[in-house]
Structure 1
């Protein structure tokens, strides 16, 4: 280890048995108070290293950059309303096999187009609509998932959930949710009791 690494270990106290004992004592106290728990969370993955990435690594200016990728529009047929579908937009089509929900903005207006597709009016203001409804009216509806025929998706009840963060600036105003593939989606799974 180089000199800087040695100095860092010294400053952090990793060479001191006393410091390490205090750390263990602190962890024991946290455990006794019930403040430690075993949980799950979604993390970013580095394909080059084959390891998960910390939030610190992601905040570095040279690690993350915006990249233009094609997006995909997918129709999810509604179970309760034959002939009607949600048109979901995603910039991460490789996460579609992990889809468990579709999110709408509850206070936004959605329209049912003549082709049976539900989309946000703000995104398609000139489209002819046969019906209009707030997103809150779509919440709770179930739909046929994109890969329900695969064993891993069997038994998943896909449903529409509310999410205030759905953007009306791009896409359709309906976002596909895959809790195992992103931090925001994972947090939504905890709030709405979605499978991961």
Structure 2
């Protein structure tokens, strides 16, 4: 499936004349990840990985954890265009996902399996090494079920990036791009 086809659901939910969200763009030399702090109907974090020409996306209600004992629910959502990785702004309240969005963390990633990211995603077990400002080291995404909404678990691996005490999702609310918080965009 082409990136354009994979973005059909994303584009169907948005009116580019009413929302500042991007509609599509070019890729990067290295695959990127982004975690966006999205204060919509409820505060959550959107975890996105560049795979197959789009940002494959999960909504993580409690945000990523650096504690390997934590198992974070990650609900798969529609793929997003690559230029969404740098999007910060206020989505109008009457639009899909209405609320404020900041880039909470971003960087590059490596696939830590012998198979491609696409194959690992299809198999339901993707292990990646993140090289971000707030998140570093290995994380696994493991599909729990395939009933309707794809529910996955986001789990930090026990490595140099693990920290059982630091809680960045709660204690570091600012954008790594601009230093702004969601409240600054209201």
TM-score range, shorter chain: under 0.3
Which structure: greater helix fraction?
Answer: 1
The structure having more radius of gyration, on CA atoms, is 1
TM-score by length of 1: 0.24
Which structure: greater strand fraction?
Answer: 2
